[in-house]
Amino acid sequence: MQNPVRQSSHQITLLSDFGLKDVYVGVMKGVIAQITPNVPVIDLTHQIPPQNVLAGRFALLNAYPYFPRPTVHIAVVDPGVGSQRRAVAVEFPQGVVVAPDNGLVSGICQFESPLAAVELNNPDYWRTLSPSRTFHGRDIFSPVGAYLATGVPLQEVGTSIDPQTLVKLDLAPVTETAEGIRGTVQYIDYFGNVITNIPAACLTGKSWSVELPQQTLPQSETYSDRTPGHPVALIGSHGWLEIAVNEGNAATQLNLTYNSSVLVRW
């Protein structure tokens, strides 16, 4: 069987909470270009809310399936940078994720078993022997990711660790009762669409509605099922129950936020 990590990668993706105001992301791309100028670098997003590992976990989980293997994903939402948290590379069937070990990768782990994981402790693949205490994205994650994209084996860039020891960051579980399902808001997108952690599979083939404190939202199929300004509940493109307002902002209008509880009734 071929070892997917030894192949060179078709592309590198970047995900961070660095924003686009500064040159942090550009600098990471410069560091990558020094190592592998011909691998395209694709931005997943750099506007994860600062240090919101939960949002980063969701974003990475939702982008991962759409990239051809082998892709290297460099993900940096890293409130613990410079502390003792580990830096890791985790190999999955479709690609490798390079990230701090703070739960960022745990979303993908819910759906796919890691094939292998290493702690990034081989400074030969860092940008410098004295990495900045505050910018491992530049000094560790980007160069390691770039070297992995050139085909350097995973085991070269650090010591193998048990994938079971990776930090987990899990949401409040979805609970099913006789009357319905209770879940949690796991992400609010740019449009203000509210994405819960209730998977489509729990709802398909059934008839349901979403009960909010102020109102009940009937099951819809598309944003335009209702007139502009009115909320809809539907299976979103991510595959989870989603609450949206046609041409509006559901989070603001319905006063929903991260970790809000959402009740679906049969």
Angle value at C-alpha 144, between 170 and 54, nearest 5 degrees = 20
In whole angstroms, how close is the CB of 80 to a copy of itself at the nearest point?
6
Which tokens in the block code for residue 174? 């979805």
CB of 189 closer than 8 Å to CB of 59: no
Nearer to a copy of itself, 10 or 182 (CB): 10
CA-closest candidate to residue 61, choices 30, 90, 28, 36: 90
**Minimum gap (Å) between residue 70 Cβ and a copy of itself:** 12
Neighbour-count burial for 66-81, b at 16+ CB within 10 Å, e otherwise: ebeebbbbbbbbbeeb
Nearer to a copy of itself among residue 48 and residue 109 (C-beta): 48
CB of 141 to a copy of itself, least distance (A): 13
Decide whether 73 or 118 has the Cβ nearer to a copy of itself: 73
| Residue among 112 and 247 whose Cβ is closer to a copy of itself | 247
Rounded to the nearest whole angstrom, what is the least distance from the CB of residue 242 to a copy of itself in the complex?
8
Closest separation in Å from C-beta 15 to a copy of itself = 8
DSSP state letter for 81: T
Q: Around Cβ 61, how many Cβ atoms within 10 Å?
A: 21
CA proximity to 103, closest of 170, 161, 162, 50 = 170
Sign of the Cα pseudo-torsion (230, 235, 239, 243, in order)? positive
Return the number of the residue (207 or 214) whose C-beta is nearest a copy of itself.
207
Residues that bind a copy of itself (CB under 8 A): 10-11, 13, 15, 18-27, 29-31, 33-34, 37, 40-47, 50-51, 59-60, 62-63, 66-68, 71, 79-83, 132-135, 138-139, 189-191, 221-225, 228, 234-237, 242, 244, 246-247
